[in-house]
Amino acid sequence: MKSSRLFVLLGMGAFLVVAISGAFRHTQASPSLDEKFVLVVHGGAGNWKDESPQQLDADKAAINKAAETGYKILAGGGSSLDAVEATLRVMEDSGLFDAGRGAYYDRDGVPELDSAIMNGRTLSAGSVAAVKHIANPISLARLVMEKTPHVMIVGEGAEQFAKSQGIELVSPFYFYNEHYWKLYQEVKAKEKNKSAHLAGNERKVYGTVGAVALDQAGNLAAGTSTGGTPYKMTGRVGDSPIIGAGTYANNDSCGISGTGEGEFYIRNTVASDICARVRYLHVSLQQAADDVVMKELVAQKGEGGIIGLDPQGHVATPFNSNGMLRATVRSDGQITVRVFADSSAR
């Protein structure tokens, strides 16, 4: 009797050792970064190989400055929402990207701007679309989120709301950009010999800007701002201001900002799809993002990329174009700026 009890005890002990060992191996296989805070920024995907070295250097300097701005907010204990907004205001003001002061012209020769921001803690969101007199659409999008019961306001209604909030409307001449004005004139001239769709896609650099942040309280936020595609139809709205398409954040899964051919991002609800895969399929952010951007969009010939960030601080920046300008900064303060593929991305 005693020997049989001893055998049972020994067997249970062996089982416990195996169970503990198995649990240890599982923990080791899925390490958590446990970052205090992280900020990821993008300046658009597309054919970056056509950019001149001088232009590329200027763009890199601008996104570095934007990342520094957001980093200071996060390092000081500020919210991910504040970091995203401030980071994107720098990008909008630079005049170097397809956002704010550097936005592309539509067929009427006027920039129309779209933007969105989302709070991953509360799932509240705000966006504006087709605005023509707003210097910083990302800030107006945040006001929509915080000061109205709505998610999206467009056109004149958005600008009326801006005035009610004390935002000064700017002249369309504020957005004058010599480089993009010349591009507009070139594309307009070519329209006589090409379809409108082809004419509007002459320059395949999608200079949309976006940011995703994880703050010290563990909250995610995402934001995106754009002027859309070159020579777009007046009133066209892309994916950037559409929650779930080009912008999404949820503390239970991830934060995403997209850049590329917006119609594909809308049809595939790219941003929310990636986060849903993380949440419900329990796959890594990297796998979810790769499956959507590198497989599904590629199969549909939808060009672009995303920046993504999960609650543990893991970053994913897949793109299927030849480049995507992006920057990452963590709590150590080191800003990494990249344009082309690099397997050493953190």
- The pLDDT value recorded for residue 298 is 98
Chain segment 58-117, per-residue pLDDT in tens: 999 999 999 999 999 999 999 999 999 999 999 999 999 999 999 999 999 999 999 999
Residue 334 has pLDDT above 60, yes or no: yes
Residues marked active site are found at 208
| Cβ atoms of 327 and 339 closer than 8 Å | no
Three-class SS of residue 152? strand
Structure tokens belonging to residue 162: 């801006």
Residue 271 has pLDDT above 70, yes or no: yes
Q: 7-31 in b/e burial notation, b at 16+ Cβ within 10 A?
A: eeeeeeeeeeeeeeeeeeeeeeeee
Chain segment 184-209, per-residue pLDDT in tens: 888 888 876 765 454 444 445 669 99
**Which amino acid does the sequence have at 266?**
I
Residue 160 has pLDDT above 70, yes or no: yes
Q: 64-80 in b/e burial notation, b at 16+ Cβ within 10 A?
A: bebbbbbbebbbeebbb
Residue 125 has pLDDT above 70, yes or no: yes
Average pLDDT over residues 138-160: 98
H helices present in the chain, as ranges: 2-29, 53-75, 80-94, 137-147, 155-164, 178-190, 196-199, 262-267, 270-280, 285-290, 297-299
CATH code that applies to domain 38-338: 3.60.20.30
Chain segment 7-50, per-residue pLDDT in tens: 333 344 443 333 333 333 333 333 355 678 999 999 999 999 98
The two beta strands, 125-131 and 255-260, are unpaired
- The pLDDT value recorded for residue 138 is 99
| Among the listed residues 115, 100, 46, 39, the one whose alpha carbon sits nearest the alpha carbon of residue 325 | 46
Residue 4 has pLDDT above 70, yes or no: no
How far is Cα 218 from Cα 75, in angstroms, rounded to an integer?
13
Structure tokens belonging to residue 17: 């050792």
Residue 303 has pLDDT above 50, yes or no: yes
Beta-carbon count within 10 A of 277 CB: 20
Chain segment 277-286, per-residue pLDDT in tens: 999 999 999 9
